[in-house]
A and B are shown apart, each in its own frame.
Chain A
Amino acid sequence: MPETITIGKSELRKDAWKKVTGAARYVADIPLRDVYYGAIVRSSVHYGHLKSIDTQTAEQVAGVHKVVTAADVPGLPVFGALVHDQPVLAVDTIHHWGQPVAIVIADTKEIAAQAAQLVLVTVEPILPILDPVEAVELNASKLHADGNLLAQFEIKDGDVELGFAEADVILEETFSLPLVSPAYLETETSVAQWNSDGSLTVWVSSQHPFVDQAEIAAALDIPAEKVRVKSGVIGGAFGGKEDSSISIMASLAAWVVQGTVKLVNSRQESFWAHPKRHPAKIYLKLGAKNDGTFIALKAKAFVDTGAFASYGPAVGIILTETLAGSYHVPNIELDTLVVYTNGPLAGAMRGFGSPQSHFAIESMVDMVAHQLGLSAIEVRKKNILREGDQLFTGVIVNQSANSLPLALSHAENILREFEMIEAAPGKVAGSGMALVMQSMGLGAKVPDDSTHQMIWMPDGKVDLYLGAPDMGQGLIMTAEQIAAEALELPFESVSTVDLDTWNSPNGNVTCASRMTYMVGNALVDAAEQLKSQMLVQASRMMNRPLDTLSYKSGNVITSDGGKIPVSEIISRAADDGIEIQSKATFSFPYPDETTPQNLPIGMPHVLFCFGAQIARVEVDPELGKVDITHLTAIHDVGRVISRKGVEGQIEGGMAMGLGYALFENMNLKANGQWVDSFTEYLIPTFNDMPLNFRNIILEIPEESGPYGAKGIGEVTVPPTAPAIANAVYNAIGVRATALPLSPEDLAKL
């Protein structure tokens, strides 16, 4: 690969300096004067008719300014990313436990919390529907006006019955996936400030500040220009912060009291009322020939979106598109139902449907291999997608599929290595693997433009105005590296201005494993524009024809070998009142010629990330306790932009996958309430991570990506749990079909 300035290196994240000194301002940390505190009154039933809200007693408490209810919403009372079904504050019906009903606004958080207890909410409870299969039964009560089936995706390719008729072996199984929480450490927070000119300034911890802006404006019935949304430092998001609930509530409260209101969800509220990963039941039937070739796949998936749609339909799409994993199966019939229940709302979360589908298909692939007496590697080698293969959606897979055979040959060696290691006394060891295919982008026919801006400053440094927030994953560093490379400047010369919807272009939502790709492509384009604008100025000032000037590493080079620092040109231009700035938009490409047009909106996805993970476990056969001793991740990133950044994404993603495999489960407790604290909802700690952890990063350039790069954010999560489940099977011969793999179940099975 050619020598680079910064691409592929491990730069030091500039935001890290503030984060290690405590100076970074997350929304709850922003110092503001005269702040009121809000406390949200929430429902304590799963389902019911909201009869009345009595705010009188609470409003008489000294220090309480107002109790806001749905009646105070001047504009649109509902919001939602894909369907407007989520009330800002409950109206008539309670749809889930913990749904916001009212907001108490008081001088201190203590007073607000006390007064919230005094708001009298009368609800006539109704028997809730908490099972997605039950929810679509004919006689189930309708949770929303259009019924309980939110979306359905049926896809057929080939003739599945004919395929099964030709199969030598057919296996069927139903897999169950739990409700899990993104569990970012910073809970949802927003501060809204009413300004005397009738505008609002709203600080958010959000993946989609421009959506917040639009949804706040709609709820308050004011023009979007009156709402200025600023991004605080974000304490993790993983998809869960694509929901405007808290920012709309803070804005409403600020609007009503004409002041500044701070809303911070407690951990419990975060569990109750913010989007999580969809629980699902996935039935799979896979037919194969004796040599391991897959011949038919049938699937039916029930995906529980909970009380409101959020991103449910889009999650259903990716779940469906990844049900066959990284394999070519000629005959396919898939049916995915996305269903409303009275559960907590599920929406976007890292993997977006693909962790669910991969647990099913990657377990099934091992089951078939076992049945046929083939190795996990052999059966996968037979069936992996190859460059030029047509997916069941009609999409042709590009060169990215070349990473699959590569990943498999690494995996083969690693499995062999793992199998040589002896188990600790009293334990049984086993190794297992899984492949992964994760889509990038929002899907065809979904508008997906991302705009970003750069300004060349008179000192020769460059300011980036990114239109989409960094949720902690390192988008800013990646963007700065790409901009620096494109402008032939050192990494240190590029910095990023805080996102503010009044100053920043709209970069769209930070999501879908496509930020490096979208932002990078836009910045490469913007950098070219910036350079040519600067050269035009240079030509004017130096009175030399444009084609005699060129740009090299921060200098203008003249045809006779002269060299003038760019800072001179820019500062002289500034004196003349000319700003050297450029803005570029990148639109996710769905070329008409190659994108099948006969599918629902959001389908198909056309670019993919592939990878493999291998786990070695030691199981205590008596207690069913699983220790993960080794994990190896093999992921193709197209091209590494930031080495440590990529490694960090993989390590963090695997930890999340490990939690999904072993502990995480936001289930109903015996008392009828959801698990809602870190005491009961366990996320991996230091000690849960394997001591032996390895990253193998593949670089098969994505031709449409900036410097060949593509996404890594989500692809790291889906293979971990099935790799672990397959390893457990290979250790103790027990096939778990539900996550998390609880010791009780493994010992009992």
Chain B
Amino acid sequence: MTSTRPLHLAAELAPGHGRAAPGPDTAARTVALARLAEAAGLDFLTHDDSFARPGLDALAVLARVAPETRSVGLVPTVTTTHTEPFHVQAAVATLDWVSRGRAGWRIDVSPTGAEARLFGRRPAPPTAELWQEAGEVAEVSRKLWDSWEDDAEIRDAATGRFVDRRKLHHVNFQGATFSVKGPSIVPRPPQGNPVTVVDATRPAARETAAHHADVALIAAATAEEAAALRAELHRGARAHGRDPGQLRVLLSLTVDPDAYEGGPGALAGLIADWHAGGAVDGFHLVPVVPERDLERFAAVTVPLLAGRGLFRTSYEGTTLRDHLGLERPESQYAAGARVRTGAGA
């Protein structure tokens, strides 16, 4: 039995918990891993982050990796609880510019009191509220990415205008905990909207994933459980007026391929079976030791899948949206450009 849907594969780059604190070798280490993943044709790499454990800023690390890779998608974790939505969206848009259309972001929240005390602005609200706010940050980010229409820059010497201001939009976003006027300071990024990933392995994040994610990560013990979760996310997406065909659901696999029963070859079998059964759109490998596990995955598991015609042997497109088969969205302001001009809009 073969699947008609393309298989998507991704992997996590951050060293697991309790690993040595990162230092001067972070850049070289991460570039080496990213190239390994790129040689295997993976869709994207995630890089975990939080303010609560040792590590460099993940978006910074992947910006450093971008010029040294060509195709693989780059998806840092970005937290939305104590950060400024306006800065966050500008940084993600910039990652898309420096990677020429390969950026995503995995939205996360900062639920602990310890994290709140690093900022001293407000105590940590209940997790459900934080995910609601994360959803608002995703929404305002899309508005800001869209706030420059693709053809806003005109360089019209005759009238002396560099931009057509009718194609720049105030977003006037009013959320529960913040508001943003806009427009963004960054022109619309190459993908239009960089890819939004939500780790929906935690139930608290599931609603935000259904509403805002282009890629949702799930955890499941059986193919049936995974299929049910995927169906639930699709229902949620539909309830928010979204096309479920524009939502990819990837199963997170925390494994050491060698320790996996039967080894990295058997892992390929599992991936092929679950995917063929329609349980998920792909897999997100969370290695125990990235250097060792990602190498085994790339060297053994992926070639087996490619050899069976289930996975790409080379990249066909150039952007992360291309790899994931997701459309490049039009700016939400494009149609109404004429009435939404100027500051008074």
Q: A and B bound?
A: no
| B residues with CB within 8 A of A | none
